[in-house]
C-alpha cells in the first residue's frame, strides 16, 4: 500500500499577499510645522536659551548647529517616539522637517542628502557637537566619558558635584535653573489658561529611579583593580518595594495633588524635578523643587511624603518645608511609631502633642505595629486612634515669624475635650454648676462634662513643683528647637485618623500615579535605552525634557476632557513660515500658544 501524499498548500492569492504583515518603514512621515512651532515656543518661553547663551559667550570658528535646534528636536523626538536620544533627534531633524521648519531652527533648509553618506555623517557630527557644547558648558567635572576610569580618579572627579567650589556651585545651580525652567513652563501655561483653578496647594514628593545604560563599577579580572562606571556619580537606587535595586540616578519629583475632601479638578502635573545620586540630599532636593512654586504664585497646603523624608534631619526638610507654608503628612517606620518624645511635659505620640496623662493603652496603640497592620487597621486599632483625639493638644496660634506655635491643654478653654482634676486643682477651678441637658440634643450631650474622658492622675499626685510645664499653664509655646531632632516626626494631622488617611493616602496615590505615567508605554523614564547619552549633565537635561514633554501631554489630555465647547482647538499663530509651506493640518491642541501673562 503506497503512502498517502501530503495535501498541497492552497495557491497564493493576491489577497493573501496583501494581508501579509510588513515591517514598518524606516522613515517616519513629515512632522507638521505646528509641532515644531509649539516646542520651539515652549523652549523660548522657558527662558533657558538666554541663560545658556550668556554662559556660552562668543566662540571662535563656525557657529555650528544651534543648541536651540538640538533641544527642540529632542522634544519632538520624545513627542513622536518617546526616545530622548540624539540619534533619533538628528534623524527627525535631517529627514522629517520641512525646509521652512529647518530654516526656523537655524539649520540648512536643504539638509543632508539621504543618498550621500558623507554629508549625512558630517551633519550628524555637527548635531552631536552642539549637544556636547552644552554638556561641556554645564559640567563641573568634565572628563572623557568613553572609557572607564580607576575608581580613585573617578571619586576625585565626583567631588565636583558636592564641594563648595564657587565655579562648581555656579555650574550646578545653572543646570538646576535650566531644569526648573523647562519643567515649570507647561505649568505656567496651564495656570495662565485657568487649568489650575481647582489646585489648592497639596503636593506629593517622591523619589523614583532613573536608571542609566552604563554598567556599574567592577574589578578587572587580570589585576583586580577597581574601575568606576562611566557615570561617575551614579549609584544603586533602592526602592521601597521588593524589587532589585537599579543602577543610575534618583529623580525627585513634586506632583500636583489633592486631598479626598478637596473639590475641583486640575491636570496632574510634575511641579519640580531634581536629578541626583541615589539616597543623597533627599530632603534638600525636595525643598529645591518647592521653592520655585512660591514664585509661580501657587497656593500651599499639605505636603505628603514617604518615610524616606521622615528620616531626614529637621533642618534638611521639615523646617524648611514649614517655612515655605506647607503642612506635613508623614508616615513612620515600625520602630518610630508610638511615643516618640516630649516637649514641656507634653508627649509626642505619632507626630502629635498629647496630654502627659493620656492612658498608656492609647499612647502605645501603634507601638511595634508592622506596615500591614497600619495599611489595613483593625476595628480595635481604629477605636484606639479615635479615643486618642480628646487628649491631643489643640493648636491655639499658628506659627509666627520665628516658627513658634502655641498649643492649648485639652482641659483648658471654654470647650475642654477632657476633665482633669489636676488642672482644676492647679488653676483653682471649682466644679461647674449643674445644668439641665436636653437628652435628645446630641451636641448638649457631648458637651456635658460627664460625656468627656476623665484624666486619672496618680494617687497621690506629684507636688506642684514637680509637674510639667503643660500642667502649670493653659498653653505652651513650641519653638522650632524644643523637640530637637524629634521635630522631624511632628505632623499637622493625627496619625491614622480619617483626616490623615484622606490626605496622605490620596496624595500618595496621585504621586505614584504620575510616576506610573512617566514610566508608561508612550514615555518611559525607567528605560535607559531612551536616554543613551553619557554623563550626569546629559542625563539631567534629557530627563528634564522627558518630564517637560510629559507635562505638555498631560495638559493636552486634560484640556480635551475639560475644555469648554467655545474654546478654540488650536491657534494659527506659529513662526513665520510662507503661506504656501505652512502645514495647517489639525493637531491635538499642541500648537496652541502660551497664555498672555
User: ∠ CA(284), CA(280), CA(291), 5° rounding?
Assistant: 20
d(C-alpha 72, C-alpha 49), whole Å: 11
For residue 343, the SS3 value is strand
The helix/strand count (H/E) of the chain reads as 20, 14
pLDDT of residue 337: 94
The grid coordinates listed for 394 are 489643640
Contact 314, 351 (CB under 8 A): no
pLDDT of residue 592: 46
pLDDT of residue 87: 93
Rg (CA), the chain: 31
User: ∠ CA(518), CA(512), CA(280), 5° rounding?
Assistant: 85
Q: pTM to 2 decimals?
A: 0.86
For residue 61, the SS3 value is coil
Tell me which residue of 545, 549, 557, 566 sits closest to 589, measured CA to CA: 557
Kind plus residue range of the DSSP H or E element containing 253: strand 246-256
Tell me which residue of 533, 554, 520 sits closest to 208, measured CA to CA: 520
Sign of the dihedral defined by the CA atoms of residues 359, 363, 368, 374, in that order? positive
C-alpha 286 chain-centroid distance? 8
Contact 523, 553 (CB under 8 A): yes
d(C-alpha 187, C-alpha 189), whole Å: 5
User: ∠ CA(82), CA(304), CA(376), 5° rounding?
Assistant: 100
pLDDT of residue 10: 56
C-alpha 351 chain-centroid distance? 24
HEC string of 545-589 equals: HHHHHHHHHHHHHHHHHHCCCCCCCCCCCCCCCCCCCCCCCCCCC
d(C-alpha 90, C-alpha 70), whole Å: 8
For residue 418, the SS3 value is coil
Residues in CB range of 30: below 8 A, 6 or more apart: 96, 97, 98
d(C-alpha 473, C-alpha 54), whole Å: 60
Q: In this structure, how many other beta carbons lie within 10 angstroms of the beta carbon of residue 381? A: 16
Tell me which residue of 458, 123, 177, 432 sits closest to 292, measured CA to CA: 177
Contact 540, 161 (CB under 8 A): no
Tell me which residue of 311, 366, 361 sits closest to 337, measured CA to CA: 366
Question: Would you list the domain boundaries of the chain?
Answer: 26-138+563-597, 146-330+491-557, 338-428+444-480
pLDDT of residue 580: 42
CB-based burial of residue 282 (10 Å sphere; 0-12 exposed, 13-18 middle, 19+ buried)?
buried
Between helix 536-562 and helix 166-192 the angle, nearest 10°, is 10
Only one residue has cell 526656523, namely 104
Kind plus residue range of the DSSP H or E element containing 392: none
Q: Kindly give the confidence (pLDDT) of every residue in the chain, 597 residues in length, as a single tens digit, with 9 standing for 90 and above.
A: 555 555 555 555 565 556 555 555 555 578 999 999 999 999 999 999 999 999 887 777 677 899 999 999 999 999 999 999 999 999 999 999 999 999 999 999 888 888 888 889 999 999 999 999 999 999 998 888 778 889 999 999 999 999 999 999 999 999 999 999 999 999 999 999 889 999 999 999 999 999 999 999 888 877 778 888 889 999 999 887 667 899 999 999 999 999 988 877 899 999 999 999 999 999 999 999 999 999 999 999 999 999 999 999 999 999 999 999 999 999 999 999 999 999 999 999 999 999 999 999 999 999 999 999 998 999 999 999 999 999 999 998 888 888 889 999 998 888 888 988 888 888 876 566 666 766 666 666 666 666 688 888 888 888 877 888 988 888 999 998 889 999 999 999 999 999 999 999 999 999 999 999 999 888 899 999 999 999 999 999 999 999 999 999 999 999 888 865 555 444 433 334 343 433 333 334 444 444 444
d(C-alpha 552, C-alpha 550), whole Å: 5
Tell me which residue of 344, 389, 370, 409 sits closest to 493, measured CA to CA: 389
pLDDT of residue 201: 93
Only one residue has cell 503661506, namely 579
For residue 412, the SS3 value is coil
Only one residue has cell 489636676, namely 422
Helices (H), 278-396: 282-296, 307-310, 318-323, 360-363, 371-375, 379-388
The grid coordinates listed for 563 are 475644555
pLDDT of residue 455: 86
Tell me which residue of 588, 542, 597 sits closest to 183, measured CA to CA: 542
Amino acid at each position: 500500500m503506497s503512502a498517502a501524499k501530503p495535501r498541497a498548500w492552497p495557491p497564493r492569492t493576491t489577497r493573501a499577499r496583501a494581508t501579509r504583515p510588513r515591517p514598518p518603514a524606516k522613515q517616519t512621515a513629515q512632522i507638521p510645522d505646528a509641532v515644531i512651532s509649539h516646542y520651539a515656543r515652549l523652549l523660548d518661553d522657558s527662558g533657558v536659551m538666554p541663560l545658556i547663551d550668556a554662559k556660552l559667550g562668543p566662540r571662535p570658528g563656525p557657529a555650528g548647529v544651534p543648541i536651540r535646534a538640538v533641544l527642540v528636536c529632542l522634544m519632538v523626538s520624545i513627542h513622536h517616539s518617546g526616545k530622548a536620544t540624539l540619534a533619533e533627534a538628528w534623524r527627525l531633524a535631517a529627514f522629517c522637517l520641512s525646509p521652512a521648519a529647518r530654516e526656523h531652527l537655524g539649520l540648512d533648509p536643504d539638509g543632508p542628502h539621504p543618498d550621500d553618506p558623507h554629508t549625512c555623517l558630517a551633519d550628524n557630527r555637527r548635531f552631536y557637537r552642539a549637544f556636547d557644547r552644552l554638556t561641556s558648558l554645564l559640567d563641573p567635572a568634565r572628563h572623557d566619558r568613553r572609557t572607564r576610569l580607576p575608581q580613585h580618579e573617578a571619586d576625585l572627579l565626583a567631588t565636583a558635584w558636592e564641594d563648595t567650589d564657587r565655579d562648581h556651585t555656579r555650574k550646578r545651580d545653572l543646570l538646576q535653573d535650566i531644569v526648573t525652567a523647562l519643567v515649570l513652563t507647561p505649568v505656567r501655561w496651564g495656570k495662565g489658561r485657568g487649568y489650575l483653578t481647582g489646585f489648592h496647594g497639596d503636593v506629593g514628593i517622591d523619589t523614583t529611579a532613573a536608571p542609566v545604560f552604563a554598567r556599574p563599577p567592577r574589578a578587572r579580572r587580570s589585576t583586580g583593580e577597581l574601575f568606576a562606571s562611566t557615570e561617575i556619580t551614579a549609584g544603586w537606587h533602592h526602592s521601597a518595594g521588593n524589587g532589585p535595586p537599579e543602577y543610575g540616578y534618583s529623580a525627585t519629583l513634586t506632583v500636583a495633588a489633592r486631598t479626598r475632601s478637596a473639590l475641583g479638578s486640575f491636570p496632574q502635573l510634575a511641579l519640580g524635578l531634581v536629578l541626583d545620586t541615589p539616597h543623597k540630599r533627599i530632603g534638600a532636593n525636595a525643598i529645591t523643587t518647592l521653592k520655585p512654586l512660591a514664585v509661580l504664585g501657587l497656593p500651599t497646603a499639605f505636603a505628603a511624603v514617604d518615610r524616606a523624608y521622615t528620616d531626614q534631619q529637621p533642618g534638611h526638610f521639615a523646617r524648611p518645608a514649614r517655612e515655605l507654608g506647607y503642612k506635613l503628612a508623614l508616615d513612620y517606620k515600625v520602630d518610630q511609631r508610638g511615643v516618640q518624645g516630649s516637649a514641656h511635659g507634653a508627649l509626642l505620640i505619632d507626630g502629635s502633642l498629647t496630654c502627659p496623662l493620656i492612658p498608656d493603652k492609647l499612647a502605645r496603640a501603634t507601638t511595634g505595629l508592622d506596615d500591614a497592620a497600619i495599611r489595613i487597621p483593625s476595628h480595635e486599632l481604629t477605636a484606639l486612634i479615635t479615643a486618642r483625639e480628646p487628649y491631643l493638644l489643640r493648636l491655639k496660634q499658628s506659627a509666627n515669624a520665628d516658627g513658634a506655635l502655641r498649643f492649648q491643654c485639652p482641659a483648658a478653654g471654654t470647650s475642654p475635650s477632657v476633665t482633669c482634676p489636676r488642672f482644676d486643682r492647679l488653676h483653682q477651678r471649682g466644679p461647674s454648676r449643674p445644668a439641665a441637658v436636653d437628652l435628645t440634643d446630641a451636641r448638649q450631650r457631648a458637651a456635658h462634662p460627664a460625656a468627656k474622658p476623665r484624666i486619672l492622675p496618680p494617687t497621690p499626685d506629684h507636688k506642684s513643683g514637680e509637674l510639667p510645664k503643660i500642667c502649670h499653664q493653659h498653653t505652651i509655646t513650641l519653638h522650632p528647637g524644643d523637640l530637637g531632632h524629634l521635630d522631624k516626626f511632628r505632623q499637622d494631622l493625627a496619625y491614622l485618623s480619617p483626616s490623615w488617611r484622606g490626605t496622605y493616602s490620596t496624595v500618595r496615590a496621585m504621586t505614584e500615579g504620575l510616576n506610573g505615567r512617566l514610566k508608561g508605554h508612550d514615555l518611559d523614564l525607567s528605560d535607559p535605552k531612551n536616554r543613551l547619552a553619557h554623563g550626569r549633565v546629559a542625563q539631567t537635561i534629557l530627563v528634564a525634557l522627558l518630564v517637560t514633554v510629559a507635562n505638555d501631554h498631560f495638559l493636552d489630555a486634560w484640556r480635551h476632557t475639560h475644555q469648554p465647547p467655545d474654546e478654540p482647538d488650536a491657534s494659527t499663530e506659529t513662526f513665520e513660515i510662507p503661506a504656501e509651506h505652512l502645514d495647517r493640518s489639525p493637531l491635538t491642541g499642541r500648537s496652541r500658544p502660551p497664555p498672555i501673562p
